[in-house]
Amino acid sequence: MKTCKVLVTGGCGYIGSHTAIDLLKQGFEVVSIDSLERSQAFVAGRVEEISGKPFHQYSFDCRDEAAVRKVFEQHPDISGVIHFAAYKSVGESVEHPLRYFDNNLNSLITVLRVAESFHVQHFVFSSSCSVYGNAASLPVTESTPLAEPESPYGRTKLMSEQIIHDYSLHSRMRFTVLRYFNPAGAHDSGRLGEIPFGKPDNLVPVITETAIGKRPALTVYGDDYPTRDGSCLRDYIHVMDIASAHTKALQYLLENKQKEKVEIFNLGSGEGITVLEMIHAFEKVSATELNYLLGDKRPGDVIAIYADNSKARSLLGWTPVRTTEDIMRSAWAWENRMREEKIK
**Which active-site residues does the annotation give?**
153
- State the Cα–Cα distance between residues 228 and 273, nearest whole angstrom: 10
Strand, helix or coil for residue 341 = helix
Closest alpha carbon to 60 in 34, 38, 84: 34
Residue 162: partners with Cβ closer than 8 Å, 6 or more residues away: none
Strand partners, 5: 29, 78
How far is the C-alpha of 90 from the C-alpha of 208, rounded, in Å? 20
In one-letter notation, the amino acid at residue 1 is: M
The single-letter DSSP state of residue 176 is: E
Contact between 249 and 124 under an 8 Å Cβ cutoff? The reply is yes
Rounded Cα distance between 261 and 250, Å, is: 14
CA distance 136 to 147: 9
Rg (the chain; Cα; Å)? 19
Q: 10 φ, ψ to 5°? A: 70, 35
Burial class for 215, CB neighbours closer than 10 Å (0-12, 13-18, 19+):
middle
Q: List CB contacts of 317: < 8 A, sequence separation 6 or more.
A: 248
User: Across the strands, what pairs with 45?
Assistant: none
| Cβ proximity of 62 and 111 under 8 Å | yes
Beta carbons within 8 Å of 267's beta carbon, 6+ residues apart: 178, 179, 180, 181, 237, 241, 242, 245, 307, 309, 312, 318
Which residues have C-beta within 8 Å of that of residue 310, sequence separation ≥ 6? Answer: 141, 270
